[in-house]
């Protein structure tokens, strides 16, 4: 089912404040660069309870990082982060247009957002402690889960897929929710078919990956060369070093190993980081039956 999304640009630029909403939804989102927070602070939409996410980049590793929080008055809490947290460059907040979000509701939303972001594993969270999921009446839980679904959509539209896993391996419900909600079916999600998994086998290295609409996702546990070739392109060398610094790659049994899933922009970029030298990824990523990624593309078969 399609969704109608409205985005208002008060500064007439996509780099400024953005107010986003979905038709027939009582929630709303505000995205704002740090430099314009003094202007956003006057908006009535953040003079109420809600949740927020601060987005930034680790200066040393280049990894995307985020912090998730909640507040009874968003403006006051966000203002405290101007001096309390230096890393962030943009914020996205969520509140309700009908002012029906209570403290318990926003605590629930915060706990679920942290859980979902950790499961997606796209950003490194700056939250030191995972908040406890508060108990809510069944009707309120269902309403908050619906709220989260709309919030996830708007986050993606606003350029932050922090809640979207690189690859959905199986249909699941968050463990905390599963213990609280009985006899409710898990949401329908795309299941990763084994035939869509590609393998890179070079020398003693073995890696597994899938191609998605965003790029090549190499799976946790895949091998990578311990050392890069002296002739590795500068860009690939820099990317390898940034992944090592970020903890995505670490030494394991005289090799490197991926400690979590990681998405690359192209099959060759993924293969180059793994092998430590320039290599054609479309020819070297293969299905178990030997079909190359290039041939798979040309066949017109769905990759996922």
DSSP for residue 185: P
By CB atoms closer than 10 A (0-12, 13-18, 19+), residue 127 is middle
Task: Report pLDDT digits (tens) over 87-97.
Answer: 999 999 999 99
* Res 97: pLDDT: 93
Tell me: the pLDDT tens digits for 23-43? 999 999 999 999 999 999 999
pLDDT, tens only, 115-145: 999 999 899 999 999 899 999 999 999 999 9
pLDDT, average across residues 75-101: 94
- Band (pLDDT 50/70/90 cuts) for residue 61 is confident
Torsion of the alpha carbons at 251, 163, 134 and 27, rounded to the nearest 10: 160
Identify the sign of the CA torsion 258, 215, 191, 199: negative
Distance in angstroms (rounded) separating the CA atoms of residues 213 and 149: 21
How confident is the model over 190-231, as pLDDT tens digits? 444 444 899 999 989 999 999 988 899 999 999 999 999 999
The C-alpha atoms of residue 160 and residue 269 are separated, in whole angstroms, by 22
Q: With 0.85 as the threshold, say if the pTM is over it.
A: no
Instruction: Tell me the average pLDDT of the chain.
Output: 88
- Report pLDDT for 169: 56
């Amino acid at each position: 089912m399609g969704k109608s999304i409205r985005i208002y640009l008060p500064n007439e630029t996509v780099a400024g404040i953005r107010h986003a909403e979905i038709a027939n939804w009582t929630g709303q989102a505000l995205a704002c660069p740090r430099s314009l927070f003094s202007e956003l602070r006057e908006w009535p939409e953040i003079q109420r309870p809600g949740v927020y996410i601060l987005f930034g980049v680790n200066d040393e590793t280049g990894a995307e990082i985020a912090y998730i929080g909640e507040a009874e008055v968003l403006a006051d809490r966000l203002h405290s982060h101007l001096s309390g947290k230096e890393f962030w460059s943009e914020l996205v907040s969520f509140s309700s247009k009908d002012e029906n979000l209570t403290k318990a509701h926003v605590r629930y939303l915060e706990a679920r957002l942290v859980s979902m972001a950790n499961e997606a594993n796209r950003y490194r969270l700056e939250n030191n402690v995972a908040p406890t999921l508060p108990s809510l009446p069944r009707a309120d839980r269902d309403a908050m889960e619906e709220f989260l679904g709309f919030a996830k959509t708007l986050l993606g539209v606003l350029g932050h897929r922090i809640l979207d896993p690189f690859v959905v391996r199986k249909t699941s419900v968050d463990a905390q929710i599963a213990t609280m909600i009985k006899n409710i079916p898990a949401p329908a999600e795309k299941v990763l078919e084994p035939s869509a998994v590609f393998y890179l086998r070079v020398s003693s290295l073995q890696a597994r990956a899938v191609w998605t609409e965003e790029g090549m996702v190499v799976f946790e546990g895949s091998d990578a060369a311990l050392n890069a070739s002296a002739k590795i392109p500068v860009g690939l060398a820099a990317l390898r070093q940034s992944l090592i610094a970020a903890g995505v790659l670490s030494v394991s049994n005289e090799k490197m190993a991926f400690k979590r899933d990681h998405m690359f922009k192209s099959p060759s970029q993924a293969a180059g980081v793994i092998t430590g030298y320039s290599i054609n990824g479309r020819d070297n990523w293969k299905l178990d039956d030997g079909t190359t990624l290039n041939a798979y593309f040309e066949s017109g078969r769905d990759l996922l």
